[in-house]
Structure 1
Amino acid sequence: MNIQKTSKDVFLAIDANAIVHRAFHAYPSTLQTEDGVQVNAVYGFTVMLLEALKQFHPEYVLCAFDTKAPTFRHIEFAEYKGTRKPTDQSLLDQFPLVEEVLKAFNIPIIKQEGFEADDILGTISKMVDSGKWKNENLDFYILSGDRDLLQLVKNDIRVCLPAGNFKNLVLYDTDEVFKYIGVYPNQIIDYKAIVGDASDNIPGIKGIGGKTAVDLLKEYGDMDEIYKNISKLKPRLQVLFGEGIEQAEMSRMLATIEQDMHVDIHLEDCRTKDFDRSNVLEMFKKFSFRSLMTKIEDLFGKEESSDSPQLSIFGTNSNTEIDWQSVEIFKELTGRSKEMIIGYVSKEESYNGEPFYVVRFNFVGGGSQDSLFKEIDTQIPQDCITTFYNWEELTAQKHIVLNYDKSFDTMLFAHTISSGKKTLTFKDLAFDYAGKIFEEKLSPLRMTDILDAIVEIREKETKKANETELYEYTLKSIKEYLKVDGDYLINVLKKVEMPVAEILGKMERRGIKIDAGYLKALDTEVKSTMDRLSK
């Protein structure tokens, strides 16, 4: 979709109900939060919102919603939308969550009992086109999933609808509407009055189809002119229009979007505003929308403030000297430490494909030091409290001697307390437990950020473990086999997960010895058997 750049300010109005409904059916119901709350419609809506903000760069934006109350159309025609199935409760439950998204982005929400979102958008469009905002030099765009809104299209008013892929938008101006339906926007109401609209249970004139309606509107312009010239129609059409006049008038009323509502909003209320990224981050964490965080940075840029919740992503400058320390320095600092934080960045997560270590030494006499290493020593003092990131991959690379009772690994523990989780990366852990944003590839220039995140991840994981209620059978098994009476999941980590990871790491380092002679003999035996059976 190409947005024509003009000197006018862009006003983007969103038909929230239509987009949420489309999103609900476009994304799988398996999109859920960690607590099992279904958020597929919220996710789809948020994807569309960010895509629209990216494409339109609006100066003004608002979102219109339906309400649960009957509209004036239901009062006039009780069967209006009467053929629709009841809305799925799992969809209804997501509307308040969508409003949370909009509030986090400081986007105004408008809804009014007795009217639909379409009517709000129709009224706003008239305010822009010929009402109190007509001199504000605005290009007005409506984002919807509802073709009914195409009747509002004019020179400075356009409608965008998703097509095919939910995120693909098609922009409709007057010419595009004509190509799409065969009539112009100002004829759509009469078109629906004649043919009806099954989705809204608008009856129309029984027996007249779309092609006939298009032909008549091309010849006569509107329905009133058709009735004025009814004697010129074919006998069958004369009968149908004559018998259906009341239905046609009612259908026209039902199909007409109201444009003269009282909407208590000022243009300045709709001006795009800054938003608190920490609130958006917390919301995305709540909804498990990790993948959308980078879209925020693409759209609004990266925050540089050190007070921000780590939204700034520092790239690696090839001209920056990285102060790598030696294994001898690691040994010396380890000997003075009461606690160590060790993050192993594997080649898969490293910015240049080369693994490295970030280490924080907290010294016995006070003070600390953060350092970078390409290699570390394999000996950790038995009385040193050690927190790891990526122990499983680290121990696959080298045999580390340490006291498991004084050790902790953030990656293994994340899997211990959330066993259904897929493969995690540091980016995932930092987002889920520390509310910090990192790129997929980690740079040594973010050493302190990485170490701070590991500390916070450990604290949040421990808190979650302490708040987790275990099944009685699980609790009994841990007590019986591990001989512990507290910190059950942490003890599973220290007494089971980390030692097993070391054994698996040793297997990976050494490989598994095979008896080549036996396998060769087995191969000969199998071939002989196959030859015998095939004869």
Structure 2
Amino acid sequence: MDKLLILIDGNSLMNRAYYALPELMNKKGQHTNAIYGFANILFKIMDTYKPSHISVAFDLKAPTFRHKQYDAYKGNRKKMPDELRKQVEPLKKMIDAFGINRIELEGYEADDLIGTVAKNFEQDGFEVYIITGDKDALQLVSDKIKVLFTKKGISELDEYDPDKMTEKYELTPQQFIDLKGLMGDQSDNIPGVAGIGEKTGIKLLKEYGSIENIYMNIDEISKSVKAKLEAGYDMAFLSKSLATIMVDIPLELKVDEFEKKDIDKNTLISLFSEFEFNSLIGKVGNDESGLIDKVQKEYLISNDIELLIDKATSLKSLNLFSIAKSGLVSDKRLINLFVKIDEDFFNIEEKDVLKLKDVFENPEIKKYGYNLKNDCLILKPYEINLTGLYFDIAIAEYLIDSTSSNYEIKDIALKYNLGDVLSLEELLGKGKSKKDFKDLSDAQISGYACSVLDIVDNGKEALITTIENYTMHNLFYEVEMPLVEILADMEYIGISADKEVLNELKQKFDIEIKTLEVSIYEYAGENFNINSPKQLGHILFDKLGLPAIKKTKTGYSTNAEVLEALSDKHPIIDKITLYRQYTKLQSTYVDGLLNIINPKTGRIHSSFNQTITTTGRISSTEPNMQNIPVRLEIGRELRKVFVAPEDMYLVDADYSQIELRILAHIANDEGLIDAFSKGDDIHTITASEVFNVPLDEVTKELRSAAKAVNFGIVYGISDFGLSNNLGISKQVAKEYIDNYFARYPYVKKYMEDIVEKAKNDGYVETYIGRRRYIPELGSNNFIMKNLGKRLAMNTPIQGSAADVIKIAMVKVYARLKSEGLKSKLILQVHDELIIESPDSEKSYVADLLKEEMESAVDLNVKLTVDAKWGKSWYETK
């Protein structure tokens, strides 16, 4: 549309964005949710409506003419939250960078500015769209002026023209002012006529047309309504005046000042980078709408293998990215392998990949890439072991910012402005229509792969510099990058799974589940769906009369917390708890594991992830080995499934209380260090100190409670949290925590100091310098701030434990390799490592594990490791 003016109520949109979106903060602790929501709606407006002219109107702090008319005007409004107030000026800077006009004038509200501009531009032949969340604007609707209301927070707009007004309210825009005069407006503290609501107001206006006409014909109106109108005469006309938007403010309006200007790309990108709106950076462009064009770059790609080998050998580096079809990890799945050296791109087809074996296995040739573990795995079935893994852009970005939600190549490219690349979703689609790489054309595959290589090449220098500036050189090059090869090996080798044991467990669990169902039905006096919270709630609380602990929107809550609180109220509760445990084990683990055993290898090949957890811990999927249950015997039985092949053993080594030992070291608490140095049981000592009982009188229950205190302290637990965990009062829980800190005063000092340091620096670090930003500490929200404190206390401990196990993995892997042992590192779970070892090596490997794990780092407290072997994972425990 050649002449389209969009007017935005800045305050309305800003407030709606703030309250509609969850709390967002950048690493500096700066709140950004209102800015983020506003930016998104601006992009949407530009893209959808492509206005020729646009302006955002804001209120100012100064009183307006309405306050002079009525002192209590907007008197019920709460003060703007600090978290929002601090976003106002940065938001205005962002609007300016968008090339959008802003208007604000002391003594007038944004509504009045919008009304005046809208009516003036209407007379000049413009179409005008007003975007707001305030219904007052409906009085401005005309054939040329439409009002677009934000709804569903800010994600959708509801359009009002005169026809929609008539359909919705059966009133004209002018009558909407009269309606406000009658019914008032609670949000602006406009009183209206007491007792007259929207329904009555609309009825009166449909019959009499206006407030003035209503009062002229007041004797025709029913007694009760008449009495209210008579009593509210002054307020009716005052309210109408307050609700009337001014359309004749003396403004100097120059049409060209409202024209949509070009985006100030550099400023907007800089602001988005500061706010950490990485997903929005890519939308910034120089085109009129401000949306970036997807430019499909054409690459000149060579198939000259000899030239590739010569360049790689002479330059000692290459950028690598593999494209493979989906399938089993043991399959040969390569479609094409792409390499960039200097400014040259190469495409290696599957038939030629072995010609590059020497290049790929040469540790002197540095390999740069994105998700290099994937390249390692794709090449393994071709008996190529990729070495010299020097730089993975995703892992580098993970170290720089471990709190990011993902590390996809597109997000990294947007954050650092490294160039254009499609996301996997844009390339392959999603849901039922999702494609495989084998379904793409050669041009699509090569275009995507080369753009990934470009991003890696463009970004490596900047990210490596940042890592050096963050003093994470050793962490990156000596721990994280060596782990890529290790995790690829572990994933490719997998762990043997005994299908027969799984089927036996399935039958056993089926019998247990059916037996529990019978018992539950007997206690209930009827059959019902135990898995239905609604039906279970009816049985427990309506039929059996148990006390309702918590309710949800749909009825009674029957979650684990509720069942635990009811455990001593009725025998049915324990049966339901057991039933849930068995059904969870059956569906998630027994059935789940049966589905993912590789039919060719008979092994489970879990996928290990380096860039998921904020603490640095390695995680795994398909299956999540970290979640294999161990607390209950029925869960521990699942470990019988994981076995060693014939003539082989599983050697398992596990750190003892590593997080508490790290706490003793970083807090430098003599009491805690002394307890570990003597080799005493730390939980028994804690029980003795905290509960004031002699060591020889510490019961199993007291030791268990002390264990909860020990590990609770590590996680920054509160008296409320500890009281819930132990089923004690908050006062008693507080005494326990106070006693603990009295016994170990330097632990308390550490907790206080680390929170203060995190507030000042914005982040905390682990033993070897892994960094985690904690913006939550800058929140004014009590819950978020307390979360930030707990993260500050716990991250250095838990993150250092993650560092230690990773360092140990690197050392163990190097020893196994350098000594030519047949034993293979196959699994890492929490604080334990598992090696598959021949019978002849198992004893030596157990000693090797213990030696390397205990010497992984030098602490004030000795690290201790228990190493055992067995034919199954279960036997090693």
- TM-based fold match above 0.5: yes
**Structural mapping, 1:281-296, within 5 Å:** 281-292=269-280
Per the alignment, residue 18 of structure 2 pairs with: 24
**Structural mapping, 1:332-481, within 5 Å:** 332-344=310-322, 356-361=336-341, 369-374=344-349, 375=353, 376-377=356-357, 379=360, 381-398=362-379, 399-400=384-385, 402-403=387-388, 407-440=390-423, 441=427, 443-445=445-447, 450-468=452-470
Measure, in 1, the Cα distance between the counterparts of 2:222 and 2:86.
Answer: 52
Give the stretch that moved more between structures: 245-254 or 451-460. 451-460
Superposed CA deviations along residues 417-462 of structure 1, whole A, max 9, x for unmatched, are 2222233121122122344332114753477754443234222223
1:527 Cα deviation from its structure 2 partner: 8.1
Does residue 13 of the first structure (1) align with residue 7 of the second (2)? yes
SS in 2 for 1:340: strand
SS in 2 for 1:32: coil
> What percentage of aligned pairs have identical amino acids?
28
Q: Kindly tell me: are residues 333 and 205 of structure 1, through their superposed partners in 2, closer, same or farther at Cα, counting changes over 3 Å?
A: same
Q: Kindly tell me: are residues 179 and 418 of structure 1, through their superposed partners in 2, closer, same or farther at Cα, counting changes over 3 Å?
A: same
Aligned AA (1:247): M
1:381 Cα deviation from its structure 2 partner: 4.4
Superposed CA deviations along residues 156-196 of structure 1, whole A, max 9, x for unmatched, are 11111123463222211122123323321101222211221
Q: Kindly tell me: are residues 445 and 181 of structure 1, through their superposed partners in 2, closer, same or farther at Cα, counting changes over 3 Å?
A: same
Aligned AA (1:394): D
SS in 2 for 1:93: helix
1:116 Cα deviation from its structure 2 partner: 1.0
1:36 Cα deviation from its structure 2 partner: 4.1
Aligned AA (1:215): K
Superposed CA deviations along residues 355-402 of structure 1, whole A, max 9, x for unmatched, are 64443435xxxxx64433344435454444443332222222235454
Give the stretch that moved more between structures: 379-388 or 175-184. 379-388
Superposed CA deviations along residues 465-523 of structure 1, whole A, max 9, x for unmatched, are 3443xxxxxxxxxxxxxxxxxx4x12112211122221110122233234567x37965
Per the alignment, residue 230 of structure 2 pairs with: 242
SS in 2 for 1:28: coil
1:267 Cα deviation from its structure 2 partner: 0.6
Question: Contact 1:314–1:445 (CA<8 Å) still a contact in 2?
Answer: no
Measure, in 2, the Cα distance between the counterparts of 1:301 and 1:371.
Answer: 37
Measure, in 2, the Cα distance between the counterparts of 1:524 and 1:215.
Answer: 68
Per the alignment, residue 472 of structure 1 pairs with: none
Q: Kindly tell me: are residues 141 and 341 of structure 1, through their superposed partners in 2, closer, same or farther at Cα, counting changes over 3 Å?
A: same
Question: Contact 2:179–2:201 (CA<8 Å) still a contact in 1?
Answer: yes
Measure, in 1, the Cα distance between the counterparts of 2:26 and 2:323.
Answer: 28
Measure, in 1, the Cα distance between the counterparts of 2:83 and 2:339.
Answer: 46
Measure, in 2, the Cα distance between the counterparts of 1:524 and 1:82.
Answer: 67
Measure, in 2, the Cα distance between the counterparts of 1:21 and 1:524.
Answer: 54
Per the alignment, residue 143 of structure 1 pairs with: 131
Q: Kindly tell me: are residues 515 and 331 of structure 1, through their superposed partners in 2, closer, same or farther at Cα, counting changes over 3 Å?
A: farther
Aligned AA (1:86): K
Question: Contact 1:285–1:435 (CA<8 Å) still a contact in 2?
Answer: no
Superposed CA deviations along residues 129-151 of structure 1, whole A, max 9, x for unmatched, are 4xxxx2x3211111111101101
Per the alignment, residue 482 of structure 2 pairs with: 499
Q: Kindly tell me: are residues 149 and 299 of structure 1, through their superposed partners in 2, closer, same or farther at Cα, counting changes over 3 Å?
A: farther
The answer for unaligned runs of 5 or more in structure 1 is: 304-310, 363-367, 469-486
Aligned AA (2:408): T
Q: Kindly tell me: are residues 10 and 92 of structure 1, through their superposed partners in 2, closer, same or farther at Cα, counting changes over 3 Å?
A: same
SS in 2 for 1:98: helix
SS in 2 for 1:513: strand
Provide the TM-score with structure 1 as the length reference. 0.79
Q: Kindly tell me: are residues 500 and 450 of structure 1, through their superposed partners in 2, closer, same or farther at Cα, counting changes over 3 Å?
A: closer
Measure, in 1, the Cα distance between the counterparts of 2:90 and 2:274.
Answer: 10
Aligned AA (2:489): K
Q: Kindly tell me: are residues 253 and 222 of structure 1, through their superposed partners in 2, closer, same or farther at Cα, counting changes over 3 Å?
A: same
Aligned AA (2:145): I
Per the alignment, residue 617 of structure 2 pairs with: none
Measure, in 1, the Cα distance between the counterparts of 2:179 and 2:466.
Answer: 59
Does residue 178 of the first structure (1) align with residue 166 of the second (2)? yes
Does residue 168 of the first structure (1) align with residue 156 of the second (2)? yes
Provide the TM-score with structure 2 as the length reference. 0.50
Q: What is the aligned counterpart of 2:296 among 311, 315, 319?
A: 315
Give the stretch that moved more between structures: 111-120 or 162-171. 162-171
Q: Kindly tell me: are residues 373 and 218 of structure 1, through their superposed partners in 2, closer, same or farther at Cα, counting changes over 3 Å?
A: same
Per the alignment, residue 512 of structure 1 pairs with: 495
Per the alignment, residue 76 of structure 1 pairs with: 69
Per the alignment, residue 210 of structure 1 pairs with: 198
Greater relative contact order structure (CA < 8 Å, 6+ sep): 1
Q: Kindly tell me: are residues 81 and 188 of structure 1, through their superposed partners in 2, closer, same or farther at Cα, counting changes over 3 Å?
A: same
SS in 1 for 2:74: coil
1:525 Cα deviation from its structure 2 partner: 10
1:114 Cα deviation from its structure 2 partner: 1.4
Query: Which of the two has greater helix per residue?
Result: 2
Question: Contact 2:321–2:449 (CA<8 Å) still a contact in 1?
Answer: no
Superposed CA deviations along residues 209-261 of structure 1, whole A, max 9, x for unmatched, are 32332222222221122222333333444433333222222212211112221
Q: Kindly tell me: are residues 165 and 530 of structure 1, through their superposed partners in 2, closer, same or farther at Cα, counting changes over 3 Å?
A: closer
SS in 2 for 1:78: coil
1:342 Cα deviation from its structure 2 partner: 3.2
Per the alignment, residue 158 of structure 1 pairs with: 146
Question: Contact 2:17–2:33 (CA<8 Å) still a contact in 1?
Answer: yes
Give the stretch that moved more between structures: 253-262 or 326-335. 326-335
Per the alignment, residue 570 of structure 2 pairs with: none
Does residue 124 of the first structure (1) align with residue 117 of the second (2)? yes
Q: What is the aligned counterpart of 1:58 among 37, 51, 58?
A: 51
Q: Kindly tell me: are residues 461 and 204 of structure 1, through their superposed partners in 2, closer, same or farther at Cα, counting changes over 3 Å?
A: same
Measure, in 1, the Cα distance between the counterparts of 2:222 and 2:85.
Answer: 48
Question: Contact 1:150–1:185 (CA<8 Å) still a contact in 2?
Answer: yes
Measure, in 2, the Cα distance between the counterparts of 1:393 and 1:467.
Answer: 28
Question: Contact 2:112–2:246 (CA<8 Å) still a contact in 1?
Answer: yes
Aligned AA (1:251): S
Question: Contact 1:302–1:313 (CA<8 Å) still a contact in 2?
Answer: no
Measure, in 1, the Cα distance between the counterparts of 2:325 and 2:394.
Answer: 16
Q: Kindly tell me: are residues 55 and 323 of structure 1, through their superposed partners in 2, closer, same or farther at Cα, counting changes over 3 Å?
A: closer
1:283 Cα deviation from its structure 2 partner: 3.4
SS in 1 for 2:495: coil
